[in-house]
A = this chain, B = another copy of it.
Amino acid sequence: MTNETTEPASSDGRRSFHDLFDAESVALIGASTDPETITGRPQYFLEKHGYEGDVYPINPKYDSIRGLTCYDSVLDVPDDVDVALILLSAPHVPDVLRECGEKGIQYNLVIGSGFGETGEAGEALEDELIEVAAEYDVRVVGPNTLGVLGSDRNLALSFSSMLDEQDELVPGGEVGFVSQSGSFAGMLFQITQRAGIGTRYWATTGNEIDVDALELMSFMLEDPSVSMIVGYIESLADGERLADVAATAREREVPLLLMKVGQSDRGQEAVSSHTGKMAGDYAVYESVFEEYGIVEIDDVTSLTDVMATVSTLDTVPRRDDRWAVLTPSGGAGALIADAIDREGMELATFEDETTDVLSEIVPEYGSVMNPVDTTANVISEYALYEDAFTTLLEDENVDVLLLQFANTGPKQAKAYEDLIKREAEATDKIVIAVFTGGKPSDEIVESYRSSGIPTFTDPVRAVRTIRLLGRFGSAIDSDSASTPALEEASGSVDVPADPGRWNWEHAASLLDAYGISHADGRIVDSTEDAVSVADEVGYPVVMKASAPDLEHKTEAGGIHLGVSSVEEVTETVGELRDSVRAYDPSIDLDGVLVQETVDDGHEVIIGITRTDLGPVMMFGTGGTLVEVLDDVAYRTLPITPEKAEALLEETAAGDILAGHRGQEYATDALIDLMVNASRLYEDYDLDELDLNPVKVRADDAVVVDFLAK
């Protein structure tokens, strides 16, 4: 019998995942009496952590477990059930899921291993689960999930030993966790608990045959109590949805903190073209995370720091925030200044007034420059500290004020507590307290935290944390920057339907239609025509065998550069034909391309390919340096002028094109070219488009070679 009151999960995502994380009733299918075993633990943990809902153990072997009636099957449970935790081994799961479907249980968590990750038999089992879920219109989490947690009803629905460590979970919650790795999720949960930060949602998605990480993040972002999303990602299916998740996160000012591990072969292949070696999947993720303002986390220490800081701060940092440092120690000040520089952030230049005030109060052997070294006198002189602190906080050039406390820091922080808390609460600037030397008590840390002041014991970690979060803040800012609408696409061009068959002349007409400059050239059949084209475009010319099926022109001897005379042109036509015939007799030449030589300008490479995260443009240094420098960045399509500019900013190619030693480059033309290439790619629904090389000169940007698929 299907439970008729439950709506289909797909009709209202928010409402439905609410029924998962804050379920009113849970069935434990395959429950056992021993709380030391995987099958016995979930019921024990639900009890231990005070689940406010109904629990139905299901196991024909028992009449009752831990004082609750135990049923032979979910179908025997007299009431509605929101969630089923299926604790059985893989082969038993499809039949049980069918029963859950009949019972109308919307969320079914499969913890078993032995599915898709173990080969064909396991994959067949997964397929069966997918079919059953579709048949009954119910959702599956897993297989290989560790379970889920929701704080509203204290639903601690997992067999993970992480639930053993604490007697009580940190109450309330502001963190939404989603992890594709179970054990890693357990670790993140424990770290968060130890840091005293409450978890609102926690989920491990396992094999993701149905419910996946991105949809859970979307759901969590709709909850106003959530102040950060933490995700552990190995790979994303339909990763284009990440754009929407990240946009929502920016809109709600809820940072998305993601650990992305592993460089999958599939992703590697998708991105790589002939420059494949450098186009790692991970590099694409890195660039796209930058584009979306996703805070990328590489290690547990940073994650802990960032989470504690988000949980404390009222203000989202920006990457261009300017720092002031107030220290009793010139040495620590220098270390902090170095760290700010190394992390690509900047020290504030004070207003004159600030310097004037500081000059009056700071002892001669201190420093009124930034970092401000008040000397150890601050330890005993309240007025000195008060004046220095408030003056720095009022300076309009200061966005972040780092208060460094040295050996007597805890005493000083206690003595100046009221002052610092009052001022920090009154400002919307960021105030950070760093305790090097003497370690502050938990009480002081908590007191500062309650006024929005994060505390650290390593100043370098303080700087790094703000820089990591700054990416998110700065991406929020760029959302508000206007993005001009793209121009209307050009009229259709007469080219073969299969882009793999486009030759240079097709390419040239397409580039013309999209207003993209390119090297002059034509495909010819005869030596006479070759000479006449060469005369037209000017010597020396480039001559290439033109044949859509010829993928490796260089290896086939199909390219001659610097052809400088009528005689050489004549000879080359024959040589190209001979070489290609010798290389592969089955290849039909459609002629010989005679092309102008573009030997000036700076060489860059532009490529667009499909990736896990959707179509992405790669931009970077071209030519002989391309493999050595590994100087590329990525942005998702459609490319806007802002994204094109970001690609220039992130690469050495862009630095070079910004001009130096009096040399100028037409970066505007290059940006237009990138935007228009993106349009071309989308209009023709290509899989791959390579413009390589593109030569950027003083007044134009010229495509020299073109490949489409």
Contact = CB atoms under 8 A, between A and B. Distances in A.
Contacts of A335: 184, 259, 261
A459 B303 CA distance: 13
A457 B375 CA distance: 36
A334 interface: yes
A365 B143 CA distance: 12
Interface stretch (A317-325, A422-430, A653-661): A653-661
A38 to B, nearest CB: 9
A342 B298 contact: yes
Contacts of A262: 334, 337-338
Size class of the contact patch on chain A: 35 or more
A160 B409 CA distance: 12
Contact of A187 (B190, B407, B461, B624): B407
A183 B656 contact: no
Number of copies: 2
A255 interface: no
A653 to B, nearest CB: 9
A143 to B, nearest CB: 10
Contacts of A363: 113
Contact of A301 (B234, B259, B460): B460
A586 B180 CA distance: 75
Contacts of A656: 624-625, 628
A342 B302 CA distance: 16
A8 interface: no
A565 interface: no
Contact of A457 (B300, B376, B624, B628): B300
A145 interface: no
Contact of A329 (B183, B330, B459): B183
Contacts of A614: none
A377 to B, nearest CB: 10
B187 A332 contact: yes
A33 B117 CA distance: 74
A572 interface: no
A408 B300 contact: no
Contacts of A113: 363, 365, 375
Nearest to A436: B187
Nearest to A463: B299
B624 A190 contact: no
Contacts of A655: 628
Contact of A331 (B180, B331, B460, B652): B180
Given A118-B365, A660-B627, A437 B190 contact: yes
Contacts of A172: none
Nearest to A660: B627
Contact of A458 (B118, B300, B407): B300
A227 interface: no
A311 interface: no
Given A298-B460, A301-B461, A457-B300, A331 B183 contact: yes
Given A364-B118, A656-B625, A261 B407 contact: no
A328 interface: yes
B118 A183 contact: no
Nearest to A379: B161
A376 B628 contact: no
A179 B387 CA distance: 30
A614 to B, nearest CB: 23
A661 B332 CA distance: 48
Contacts of A493: none
Given A298-B339, A299-B460, A459-B300, A331 B181 contact: yes
A553 to B, nearest CB: 14
A452 interface: no
A329 B183 CA distance: 6
A265 interface: no
A341 B186 CA distance: 24
Interface in A661-695: 661, 663
A327 to B, nearest CB: 8
Interface string A512-551: 0000000000000000000000000000000000000000
A375 B330 CA distance: 50
A94 interface: no
Contacts of A298: 338-339, 342, 460
A190 B407 CA distance: 8
A232 B338 CA distance: 14
A458 B299 contact: yes
Contact of A663 (B179, B365, B624): B624
Interface string A259-301: 1011100000000000000000010000000000000001111
A438 interface: yes
Nearest to A376: B183
Interface string A455-479: 0011111000000000000000000
B118 A184 contact: no
Nearest to A332: B184
A183 B434 CA distance: 14
A162 interface: yes
Interface of A: 113-114, 117-119, 160-162, 165, 179-184, 186-187, 190, 194, 232, 234, 259, 261-263, 282, 298-301, 328-332, 334-335, 337-339, 342, 363-365, 375-376, 406-408, 436-439, 457-461, 624-625, 627-629, 652, 655-656, 660-661, 663
12 contacts: A114-B364, A161-B407, A161-B438, A179-B331, A183-B328, A186-B407, A194-B439, A298-B339, A298-B460, A300-B461, A301-B461, A629-B652
